[in-house]
Structure 1
């Protein structure tokens, strides 16, 4: 009778001789030892076959070819160009949207600049024990009252001397007509008469009348924007920190302190720019105004006021205002007086560019003249005179914000912002941790 050996659960049981046998030249494996594994692979993993290895190589090669379209220099340039176009498109949409909301946007921008310039006065009164509301009202009344007084004086001066200016303009035009007819240009009386008739026809046309209607509409917008701006200015002076802190609440805690520092730096730049420009503009207006009074040029006070306002447009504002003064001097007093006014304007511009501006507003502005010129051009194209007035401070704030974003100073929270006042606790100071240095590409 033949006896069968019992079978194990994993398969047929081998005899000890079979289980311990090994191929020739290979050391025998002890019973229970783990099976040898392929070099470089996990235990029990099978060595990939030639077919699977070839398939993997083909797949990796196709992936490399697909990525290679964008990894070369042309592909990277295409990606960068697409990013630039996307940013420009978003910026264009933003500018168009802001232009549609100009009745709201322009007053906000103007009063933000004014609030940055007037906030030190409010802080000074607070430090000397004034209540916050009383300090705000006092600063607002003094500032707006001074501006209103200047405008009233200018309007009265224009009203009192308008007749003299009209007579001088008529006399100057007659002299100009005689010079054109008898001078080297050789313009005939018929041509001068035709030009005058065309000018009269244009002034009485529907275009000018439509422009007058549009001007009335613009005046209504100016009044509405002024009232809105006064209200916004009051709240910014009274609780500017709290308002800014409210808008920072949705931000992450690691981003909030950096944005707070950007806001702090922007207020410093705006305030320094406005106060410094006001000092330079006051010097320009006083010097040119005194020269106009000495020379007997009419409308000296309005012209000095225009020079003061024009100085807020860097590079070209004071020059344009001085040119207007020279033209009025030419019409009212003759060419000699006009040449003297031109010489005074040139001297004042040299004094401003070489001494006053670098010392008073150089650190606050910190922009290259080419950047200022480009900003003025862009602002004028977008929003005319208002755009020219706002372009340079906006560009200065953008540049200061970019530098502050890349700063490596430790984080500073809202609890370290200047003067105390309402809104100090609007944003809790986040945990401080050092910022990583950003490399400039």
Structure 2
């Protein structure tokens, strides 16, 4: 009996395969981690949207501080105290913005009557064209449409919207005051504020934080200044063309072109379409066609000549990335999100590039080899 037990081979035990060490388990674990990250990101974005009265002024202040910090640093290098340099830069910027708003208000007030009469005449021509066109439309249908519009503007629904608009104006004023306060401290103590956030870090993490603190403002400031230069050239060119053609509201339309250039791909185009519509109402289709030609020519010169030169030192993003960023920003925060989405995407990509690469933020040209005397000075002298 013992010999029979000795002859039977004992089965070899193979290690049990759990649910996590096979390929399907690994994929399930990674999928769960990705879903957890997406859920956490959604919660964070939802919280930021709820605090938009604070978050949006902070983001705009960071962008403006990155663009204006070279002016403050230049004044400080000339011996001016930090407080005086900050106040000078901030007050000059506010004065320039106020002057532009004042010019827009006066231009609209002086040309509003002319534009209103031209718009009325244009609407009458459009009504005659619709009634005499290939599609038979009765005059009573047009009158009913006008009556519906009048009823909407005199209804309680429009009054409720007006009250909501008053609340938006109050939030806008509060956000503007908060923006100016935050911008002042960012211009004055931006480096100290970032150093304070890096205090708990040490070693490689602190070095990474310093890389981010030097790379992000440089990329963001270069992007904003380059976009502002391109937008200014577009506004001057299109505004000059509108003024020569005697299109009403040429100055406000030029300012809209300047602001629209900060929304890539679609901003300047929409502003040009609005200028063409004003020209169509005021002077007819021929002048409107000339305005469209001017807008197209300026956009082509900007994209093929001006933007590659001005934005050469800034971070470049693929148009598909810009489109995704614009869509996401518009969904999350509307028109403000569309303006802030592309700069934030550019800064995020620059941070990703220098996250684990200490040399990415200070790459030297490969054609210039290192100088040998710098190495020879480190060698100890022989006694």
Matching residue within 409, 418, 423 for 2:359: 409
Question: How far apart in 1 are the matches of 2:148 and 2:27?
Answer: 55
Alignment of 1:7-406 (within 5 A): 58=13, 61-62=15-16, 65-66=17-18, 69-406=19-356
Is the CA contact 2:66–2:220 (under 8 Å) kept in the aligned structure 1?
A: yes
Higher helix fraction: Structure 1 or Structure 2? 2
What's the TM-score, normalizing by structure 1?
0.78
Is the CA contact 1:313–1:389 (under 8 Å) kept in the aligned structure 2?
A: yes
| 3-state SS in 1 of match to 2:225 | helix
What is the deviation of 1:87? Answer: 1.1
Question: How far apart in 2 are the matches of 1:301 and 1:100?
Answer: 36
Task: Show structure 1 runs of 4+ deviating over 6 A.
Answer: none
1:4-48 CA distance string (max 9 Å, x none): xxxxxxxxxxxxxxxxxxxxxxxxxxxxxxxxxxxxxxxxxxxxx
1:252-292 CA distance string (max 9 Å, x none): 33201111111211100110011001100000000000000
Question: How far apart in 2 are the matches of 1:254 and 1:168?
Answer: 66
Is the CA contact 2:242–2:250 (under 8 Å) kept in the aligned structure 1?
A: yes
Question: How far apart in 2 are the matches of 1:77 and 1:386?
Answer: 38
What is the deviation of 1:143? Answer: 1.1
Question: How far apart in 1 are the matches of 2:139 and 2:312?
Answer: 53
Match in the other structure for 1:43: none
1:37-76 CA distance string (max 9 Å, x none): xxxxxxxxxxxxx9xxx79x65x623xx11xx32333222
Gaps of 5+ in 1: 1-49, 413-441
Query: Which protein is bigger by CA-based radius of gyration?
Result: 1
Is the CA contact 2:208–2:356 (under 8 Å) kept in the aligned structure 1?
A: no
What is the deviation of 1:157? Answer: 0.8
Is the CA contact 1:258–1:411 (under 8 Å) kept in the aligned structure 2?
A: no
Residue-pair matches, total: 355
| 3-state SS in 2 of match to 1:129 | coil
Question: How far apart in 2 are the matches of 1:356 and 1:228?
Answer: 35
| 3-state SS in 2 of match to 1:250 | coil
Question: How far apart in 2 are the matches of 1:76 and 1:200?
Answer: 63
Superposed CA RMSD: 1.9
Task: Provide closer, same or farther for how the CA distance between residues 252 and 209 of structure 1 changes in structure 2, counting only shifts above 3 A.
Answer: same
